[in-house]
Each structure stands twice: as C-alpha cells, then as structure tokens.
Amino acid sequence: MTRLARMIPAIAALSLAVPAMAQDSGAADIADELSDPVNQIAVTAAISAMSEALLDLEIEPFVKAMEAVGRDDSVRDLPPDARLRDLAGPEAEALPAEMASEVPRMMGRMAQMADAMDAMLPGLRDMAERMKDAIPRE
C-alpha cells in the first residue's frame, strides 16, 4: 500500500473540514484553528478512530452484492466474517498510527494555505468585482 493511499482518508477528512470552517470564519481564523495543537490532537484522534472503524467493516454485504450481480467469482472464497482489515493484509494494522502521525503536519500545511488565502482575499474580491462589471447582463 503506497504512502499516499494510506493518507487518503486523512486528506479527505481535512479537505472537507476546511471549507466548512471557512463559511463561519475568515481564512486567518481557520489557520489559527488548524495550527492549534489541541485541535490537531482532536482531529488526530478522530481520524485514528475512523480508520480503525473502516478497517473493521465487514465485507460480507459487499461480497453478497458482487455475487448477486455475478461480477467477481473471487469474492466467493472470502470467509463470511472477513473484514476490510483482512483484505488489506498485515500492513493494515499500522495504518491508523501512520495516518495519525501525519495529521499535525498536514494541518500545519493547511494552516499555511489558509494564511495564503487570507492574504489573497482582497485581490480575489477585487477581481470578482471587475469580472462582474465585465460580464454583459441580459
């Protein structure tokens, strides 16, 4: 499993959190929140728990669906109580800890991006105003 593949759930969770936070706060506030070690610990705990829960998903419903549509005979060989962790192999055990170790650094980088967005906002607002005037109205 590649390093990027292991990080996808964490990246997805963080990328969903930033726009939601942006609706209520300015980019500078978002940067502060992302940089806060307490928030980083909370997000790390949530992502770790999410990855553990994901690995514990039973795959039997998926196997039954695949069998029902006749798409993949290889799923018939899987034990009925198999979980996603079983399919991922022994390296899956380290996945939650590896993801958790990367979260603070990712949040720090996202804070830097939010700071950059904050610096760009006046220019983007000005550009939007000019575009509004440049687009013909019906």
- Domain range summary for the chain, segments of one domain joined by +: 3-134
**pLDDT tens, position by position, 8-62:** 565 555 555 555 544 445 777 888 888 999 999 999 998 888 889 999 999 888 7
pTM: 0.61
- 69 versus 111: which is more confidently predicted? 111
Task: Return the HEC string of the chain.
Answer: CCHHHHHHHHHHHHHHHHHHHHHHCCHHHHHHHHHCHHHHHHHHHHHHHHHHHHHCCECHHHHHHHHHCCCCHHHHHCCCCCEHHHHHCHHHHHHHHHHHHHHHHHHHHHHHHHHHHHHHHHHHHHHHHHHHHHCCCC
Please report the pLDDT score of residue 26 as a whole number: 73
